[in-house]
Structure formats: C-alpha cells, structure tokens
Amino acid sequence: QVELVESGGGLVQAGGSLRLSCPASGRILNTYTMGWFRQAPGKERVFVAAITGRGDDHDYADSRVTMTTDKAKKTVTLQMTSLRPEDTAVYYCAATGAGRTSQAQSYDSWGQGTQVTVSS
C-alpha cells in the first residue's frame, strides 16, 4: 500500500474554488492510477476524478474539476471551481495499480481525507 496525505480542504463560499493536493513518490505517480473520491455524511463514497500514471488519460465525474500530476513536485492536485453547497464532503486521494478506474473498490491505498465545506 501507498501512504497518501491530502491537503487543501477548507471552507469556501458557493461559486468559489479550491485546490486539493496529494503528494506521492515519483514511482507511484509514474505507475499507478491516482484518483479522487468524496463522501458526504450519510452517503456513499463517490468518484470525482482519476489520472493514469503516464498522465495521458483522465476520467472526470464533473466538468468543474481538473486533475493534474506535477511530477517535479511529486503531487497530484484536484482543482475544483464553481463550488456548490452539495459539494460539501470529505475528499479522499487514492491509488491503484489496476489502471484507470472509477470504482472505489479497485483502489487499495487511501488517504485520511480532507474536509471541504461550501457555504451558501
């Protein structure tokens, strides 16, 4: 398993933006698919975005998010714009060696999550 630690969450007004970060080793970023998921209270964990190790294939659940890999900084980021109160959730960074996938059960490494709260 891979150790992942998310950062960048916080309180933002509706319509605002946030950038979440998740550092990982160069080996992981080059070979694993990295994903972002979110989980609101009382709801299931849902897919947000994923990027393959080569960085040439993305998958997004929402057009308001962009996921990038900065291999120089050894970090994946999730840029979120036009945030809405319903985006309030704990956001998780995850890694899988299984290739590009939006299925949470395919990811075997997870961070502890970072809280994003969007006020109306």
CB of 64 closer than 8 Å to CB of 21 = no
Return the DSSP state at 7. Answer: B
How many whole angstroms separate alpha carbon 26 and alpha carbon 32?
10
Q: How confident is the model at residue 32 (pLDDT cuts 50, 70, 90)?
A: very high
CA 50 from centre of chain: 7
Q: Which amino acid is at 119?
A: S
Q: State both tokens at 58.
A: 């993305």
pLDDT digit string (tens) for 80-116? Answer: 999 999 999 999 999 999 888 999 999 999 999 999 9
pLDDT digit string (tens) for 47-80? Answer: 999 999 877 789 999 999 999 999 888 999 999 9
| 3-state SS class at 47 | strand
